[in-house]
Structure 1
């Protein structure tokens, strides 16, 4: 009689484990949506993207989606997390969309590449990127644009907002859209600065080309005749013999 009781006990334990697993919420993984930006085909402006920083509350080890509520407090979703490093996703999304809007494949993430000299460097600090079941996706950031010499050319604060339907999937879609719009705004600010840098470089190179073209060629000197002493007649010299 003991063996059937043991089998019954094992069956009860297995059923309890199965019921516990079925009650555990399933976690869904998400990544930012980059859309379908076209691949650039020309040598447009050279841009260095970075350093890019995210607010501390977004850099979580558990990678759970942050939820903002009506009273402003933050919590984490129990069933949704980022599939990878959020900062790396933001970097790649901005890089692809900037390249598309600028029609240039000369975009490099910070720290750059050996020999790469950017026309413009973009320093970006994202201080807010979140949403909630009842709150829209909001992005708040500050960008700083540096010229070729590393001098500050422009600094701007920006706030973008996108509504959604409340689900985690739609919140991620809305956050992706505000990042795409940020890249579009950045491209508008970068384009005139890059053109100004290109014109300045061309103007600086023009005097050097003009100087080289105006320099007269050195005239060849005629071959020098060697100095040979001229023979002169000698005077009559008397010779005495002893």
Structure 2
């Protein structure tokens, strides 16, 4: 067997090259959306809301962060990853924000709805949620409110935008802010719809009470008295 001897300088150069490559490849960073809520409502008498189902665009359902480039092309940052499932993170932001803004803890995710009888259901579709080093964070979504019978009560298409400094961390902050604004839009719609339903129920109850009162009130019409007719007959004397 013939041994091949390499110069020491060549070996050192190879080691240094490998070390340089190791330094160039940055370590993975993990990120999570921020719900912006420090304390949840403890009220058990608030409106009952079922959040979901949530539909998230296919291009967002991955572990790596999506980066939108200046030419609107999409790339994946292999060094920036979500700490958990992005749809799960979005669900938690919406759930916690709605609980805080509606001042109610009677909320549940669509996947955990067992035994819940919601007053309203919020169905959400996320068509776009991304940003880039030179692109602002953009959210394009649609939400629909359904009543307890599945009837559509309200719907809206939302497009929001938030600036950032360009770093991945600030991009995640900006995306979190957009989801918080989406939750605000939803909570206002839930409050308006709940108030409308309560007003309609109150009006119906008042109308029912007036109808019952009218039926129980005695009639003021005078019923004519029928008197026997007396005929004067001739008195016969014998």
Fold shared per TM-score above 0.5 = yes
C-alpha separation between the residues in 2 aligned to 1:36 and 1:142?
Answer: 23
Deviates more, 1:130-139 or 1:22-31: 22-31
**How far does residue 65 in structure 1 lie from its aligned partner after superposition?**
0.9
**How far does residue 99 in structure 1 lie from its aligned partner after superposition?**
0.3
Aligned to 2:225: none
Aligned to 2:58: 56
**How far does residue 196 in structure 1 lie from its aligned partner after superposition?**
3.7
Contact 1:147 1:197 in 2 (8 A): no
The 5-angstrom pairing of residues 51-200 of structure 1 reads: 51-60=53-62, 63-198=63-198
Q: Secondary structure at the match of 1:175?
A: helix
Aligned to 2:35: 34
**How far does residue 23 in structure 1 lie from its aligned partner after superposition?**
2.6
CA gap of 1:203–1:106, structure 2 versus 1, over 3 A, is farther
**How far does residue 92 in structure 1 lie from its aligned partner after superposition?**
0.5
CA gap of 1:40–1:12, structure 2 versus 1, over 3 A, is same
Q: For residues 175-206 of structure 1, what are the alpha-carbon distances to aligned partners after superposition, in whole Å with 9 as ceiling and x for unaligned?
A: 00000111111100011222344566678889
Structure 2 alignment gaps of length 5 or more: 210-238
Deviates more, 1:66-75 or 1:117-126: 66-75
CA gap of 1:117–1:205, structure 2 versus 1, over 3 A, is farther
C-alpha separation between the residues in 1 aligned to 2:140 and 2:61?
Answer: 16
Contact 2:50 2:113 in 1 (8 A): no
TM-score with structure 1 length normalisation? Answer: 0.74
Q: Is residue 45 from structure 1 mapped to residue 47 from structure 2 by the alignment?
A: yes
C-alpha separation between the residues in 1 aligned to 2:165 and 2:12?
Answer: 44
C-alpha separation between the residues in 1 aligned to 2:171 and 2:105?
Answer: 30
CA gap of 1:67–1:185, structure 2 versus 1, over 3 A, is same
Contact 1:128 1:138 in 2 (8 A): yes
Aligned to 2:22: 21
Contact 2:137 2:171 in 1 (8 A): yes
CA RMSD after TM alignment: 3.1
C-alpha separation between the residues in 2 aligned to 1:206 and 1:12?
Answer: 90
TM-score with structure 2 length normalisation? Answer: 0.76
C-alpha separation between the residues in 2 aligned to 1:196 and 1:109?
Answer: 24
